């Protein structure tokens, strides 16, 4: 969804480190009962330059929740690190390959590599010609990226995704993972969707998660996780990652409900919180387990109130991270 909204503060990069709803069980197949029971006890677009809340998808019917707790890193009152990025006319070589975390702490994820893909870029709306360039996603060609959506109050998706990504990085590094961001507010636009996929592939990531918030109609609420469908066309061949990506998505969905108290989408996914799609370049071109998550609908006032809350964003980061930890620990 195109966005050309108001001015906003430049995104702030990471400083050098040292760094309810209840879900009805009857609606789910037996394989999902355990995970959704945990949810009930607990309190209960735009993206890839492509996804749209109203797009059709094949609904999955299983969500599991086996979730060890991860350490929660404290957030600042503003929810953002301090410091200002340097801005260049073109992406630097290091930016093009993604932002890599500091050496990880020892922990259960030692030796694991996680790539976090903060959807869009706060600078995209200044570079419409560049992000409108067509790239090959295997099945067809699509725009390099999009500007993303925003709340009615002007809080843009790209700022939301970058903030959650940085929070997730802290949480996952505390578990011992090596974490790489596809962008960290360190480049003027992008990267393109094909490059985002390539960063995860070249990192030989054990898991990749692309972060988004939807831009659907008011009254459409809740989160959904987008899984790759089986695609074998041109440069795209997802057949080997469909299974593990589904497991990753199920773990994330279960933990997201548990930690945030948010319900699965009421407008896609049939109440499961899972949708399968074959039209997203970020998934089609991935050779490693990867999913997208739409954390809520920015155009709904109730969801927007959550998405704009630093405390809720910390919960979102925790829920997604716990899902990744659960997936990687098996």
Active site residues: 294
One-character DSSP codes across 88-126? -SS--HHHHT-EEPPPPPSSTTTT-EEEEEE-S-TTGGG
Query: Helix-strand-coil percent breakdown of the chain, rounded to 5?
Result: 35, 15, 50
* Sequence-distant (≥ 6) Cβ neighbours of residue 169 within 8 angstroms: 14, 101, 116, 179, 181
Q: How far apart are CA 290 and CA 99, in angstroms?
A: 18
Helices in the chain by DSSP H: which ranges?
33-43, 93-96, 128-131, 157-174, 193-202, 242-260, 281-284, 301-307, 310-329
* Residue with tokens 């954390």, as numbered in its chain: 295
Q: How far apart are CA 30 and CA 62, in angstroms?
A: 8
Cα–Cα distances in Å, from 206 out to 114, 219, 283? 6, 36, 15
* Residue with tokens 């600042």, as numbered in its chain: 76
- For residue 315, give the 3-state DSSP assignment: helix
Q: How far apart are CA 275 and CA 284, in angstroms?
A: 15
- For residue 10, give the 3-state DSSP assignment: coil
End-to-end CA distance of the chain: 36
Q: How far apart are CA 273 and CA 263, in angstroms?
A: 8
């Amino acid at each position: 969804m195109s966005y050309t909204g108001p001015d906003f503060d430049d995104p702030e990069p990471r400083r050098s480190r040292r760094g309810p709803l209840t879900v009805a069980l009857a609606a789910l197949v037996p394989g999902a009962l355990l995970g959704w029971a945990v949810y009930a006890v607990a309190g209960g677009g735009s993206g890839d330059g492509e996804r749209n809340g109203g797009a059709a998808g094949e609904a999955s019917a299983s969500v599991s929740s086996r979730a060890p707790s991860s350490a929660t890193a404290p957030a600042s009152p503003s929810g953002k690190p301090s410091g200002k990025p340097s801005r260049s006319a073109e992406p630097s070589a290091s930016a093009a390959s993604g932002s890599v975390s500091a050496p990880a702490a020892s922990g259960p994820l030692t030796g694991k590599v996680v790539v976090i893909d903060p959807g869009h870029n706060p600078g995209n709306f200044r570079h419409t010609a560049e992000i409108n360039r067509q790239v090959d996603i295997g099945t067809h060609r699509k725009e390099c990226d999009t500007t993303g959506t925003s709340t009615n109050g002007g809080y843009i998706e790209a700022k939301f995704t970058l903030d959650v990504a940085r929070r997730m990085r802290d949480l996952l590094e505390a578990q011992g993972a090596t974490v790489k961001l596809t962008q960290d507010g360190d480049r003027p636009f992008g990267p393109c969707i094909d490059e985002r996929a390539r960063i995860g592939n070249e990192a030989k990531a054990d898991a990749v998660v692309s972060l988004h918030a939807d831009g659907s109609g008011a009254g459409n609420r809740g989160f959904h996780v987008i899984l790759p469908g089986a695609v074998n066309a041109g440069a795209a061949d997802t057949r080997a990652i469909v299974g593990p990506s589904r497991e990753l998505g199920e773990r994330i969905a279960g933990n997201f409900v548990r930690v945030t108290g948010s319900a699965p989408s009421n407008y896609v996914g049939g109440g499961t919180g899972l949708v399968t799609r074959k039209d997203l370049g970020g998934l089609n071109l991935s050779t490693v387990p990867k999913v997208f998550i739409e954390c809520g609908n920015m155009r709904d006032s109730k969801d927007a109130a959550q998405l704009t809350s630093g405390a809720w964003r910390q919960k979102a980061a925790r829920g997604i991270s716990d899902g990744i930890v659960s997936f990687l620990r098996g």
